Structure formats: structure tokens, C-alpha cells
Structure 1
Amino acid sequence: MPDADAGAPVDTVLLDVDGTLIDSTYLHALAWMRAFTAHDLTPQWWKVHRAIGMGGDRLVGEICGDEVEESLGDTLRDDWEGHYRELVPDLRPLPGAVDFVRGLLDAGYRVALASSGKAEFTDAALKVLGFGHDDLAAVTSSDDADDSKPAPDILEVALTQAGGGRAVVVGDTVWDVASAHRLPAECVAVRSGGFAEAELRDAGAVLVVDHVGELSRRGWRP
């Protein structure tokens, strides 16, 4: 991992994807609920929503317990993948997301997508946003890290691949804030993933806004 010199200027912005750039949080929740109910598991919707943003390797145990993870974890993840794939045509950018990313690139920052999701779904998000891999300093997926959020692994990989020295993270969940702190880096949080401002601030976010379009409108820079 690059040295995080607190005195150095921020040169890299690490962006979460789902719920931050793409309005997909509730599509993920729907796909997980379909996977669970197919196996006669009936968690409450709010519990599923609250877990979106942590890695799929952690989510099943978080919602249904270790016994279900041990017996059905891989099957549920495969089922979720199939259900979410069916929902990909419904993906939409969040307000101002495209202009936000372009503004950071034009300002000279290294911009990396620090997603621990499946590569095909990150690629689908990029297509919706109108960007390619070559437009960004790095694009990560679940294949790039041993441990998922709230562990910092995917952020470390994204920062290293981007060739950056010091980063700020933009995300939408308490899991993003936690992983940023472990990098370590400051985290700017958006409410577009469904977490409350107080929760994100209590987790340690240095700034909370409704969506990245608001950051763009304010002319925010790290």
C-alpha cells in the first residue's frame, strides 16, 4: 500500500459505485431477497438493505447467521448474482454522478472505482455512466481483494493500481466509512444509499450530502 502521508496533498479519489454513482442499492436488496426467499429464508427488508455495501462474503452471515452461511452461503451468492443480472437493465446514474466524475478528472485527480462487486456489474455501471476503464486510473472488482468492506483491502488495491499517494474516499454506507478509516483516509459520504446523515457522521464521515451531484454543484475538491 502507498504511504499515507498526512501532510501530502490528496491526489486520488476512491469512489464506491453502488449507491454512490449508480442508483442500485435497492436493486441489490431485491436480488438478495429473491435469493433468500427461494430457499425459504425470510429476513426483513430493512436488514437486507442495511447490509448492502458490505461484501457478499459477509452479507449472508450478517443477515441470516453463521449456520446459513456455512450451509447455503455460496448457493445464495450464486442465486443473487443471477437475480441481479436480470435487474442490470434498470441501472441508472445518480443525479450529477457523470459530471462529478468528469469534474474530478478535469481537475487532475487520479479517479479510481473501489468496488468489491463483480467485475461484470462494475463494467455495467461504467457503461451506464458513459466511461471506460481507460478513462479512470483504476477499476477494481471482488477478484482484486482477499477481504471485502468494511476491511480496507479493496481501497488499498485501488489506490495502488491508481499509483496514488494519498486518497479521499466517497461512499454511501457506514461500511465505506469504516474501510476508509482503516486505509486510512477521510471519507465523504452521500445519503443516496439510504443511510441517515447522523449514522454516517457517527461512523466518522467528514462531510455528508444527499448525492454526489451536490458535491459537483458545490465545486467540492479534496
Structure 2
Amino acid sequence: MYLIGLTGGIASGKSTVATRLGEHGAVGIDADQLAREVVEPGTPGLAAISAEFGSNVLLPDGSLNRPALGAIIFADPERRERLNAITHPAVRQLTRDRIAAADASDPHAIVVYDVPLLADAVAGGLVTFDLVVVVHADATTRIQRMIDLRGLTEAEATQRIGAQATDAERLALADVVIDNTGTLDATLAQVDALWERVVAAAAGEIAVIDGIRSPSSAAQD
């Protein structure tokens, strides 16, 4: 199995890149989706969130009121850490399960783990990536996207960017950077070119992708 870690700041276009890789045949594992699963109604995660933050973060049907919770945690780093302490262990375990399932299904699969907090996954020893891809767009572009596409105010968008890792911290982890400040076609062309190199590296046909050795070349050392 060839495992790609895909990350990027909020509104950077990470989902666009993940979707394109999926169209090429990659097996996608979305950390945000896993985070939603661990707080579905009836889960221990949702019960713990309700106990920590109060019943006002629940909708009438018992599901999580994400806007209400977001308003709390993006304004208070300490409370955001409390939420992370509830959800992150469950997401980590589900991640391990999904990666193991993908490997068992097809040992030659190319798997893309789409994760906002990639640095935490690496530092915590959750997974070892063959390649780390960072989708990048400058803060001004991302703020405007959140205003136009998500209906946030400029202050809300800026606050959410500030709650995440910095661009420098993400880029320091990158083996490959996808520049998503231009047109959609330009972004997709970068992803298509990357896919060709990933397929070749996974098959052992090339030794490196932007300085990263393929698993087969590493095994020969």
C-alpha cells in the first residue's frame, strides 16, 4: 500500500485535490468524515461533548449543532483543546481501522488520508506516510472563499484561519505542494501530474518523487 498524507488550511482547496485523486483511483480516507462519525447520535463522543459544552450544542433531533459548537471552540483555544481531547482519540482509532481495512482489501492500493491536522498525525506516530502533499493558497484568497462560499464574515474567517496551523508549519512538512491560488484547471493539472508520478513510484518504476524515495527503493537499501 502507498499512503499519501494530504493536508491544507481551511478553504485551501484540499477537498478538490482529494476528489481528483479519487477520480484517478485512489482510496480516500477523510479525517473530517471520521470526526463526524465519532460524534453521531448515540456515540460516547457526542455524549461527552454534551456533558462538556451543554445541551445547547445539540439540535432538537439529538444530533450535534455544529455551528453552535464552532462558535464556542473557535473563540476559546482552551475549550477547543477540550473538544480535541474528546474526539481525537476516537478519530485516531478509526483512522487505524480504515487504513488497515484498505490494506487488507488491496495491498497495492494508493490511499489518500485527507487530514487537516497532519502534523499531529505524524508527531503522534499515528501513521507513516510515503508522501505528504500540502494544498496551499494564501490567507487572503482563503478568507474571500469563506466569505463567498460559506457565508462567514471576514472576522469569522480570519478567526478560523488563526485557529489552525500556520502556512509555514504545514509547508515544512510538505514533500509536494499543490498551488491552488490560480484556476481550477491549473490545480487539476498539478494533481494529474502528481498522480502519474505516484503511480510510477508505487510500482517501483521511479526511485523518487520530489526527493522522496519509493517504498521499493527504500527496501533495497
Report the TM-score when normalising by structure 2: 0.37
- Higher relative contact order structure (alpha carbons within 8 Å, sequence separation ≥ 6): 2
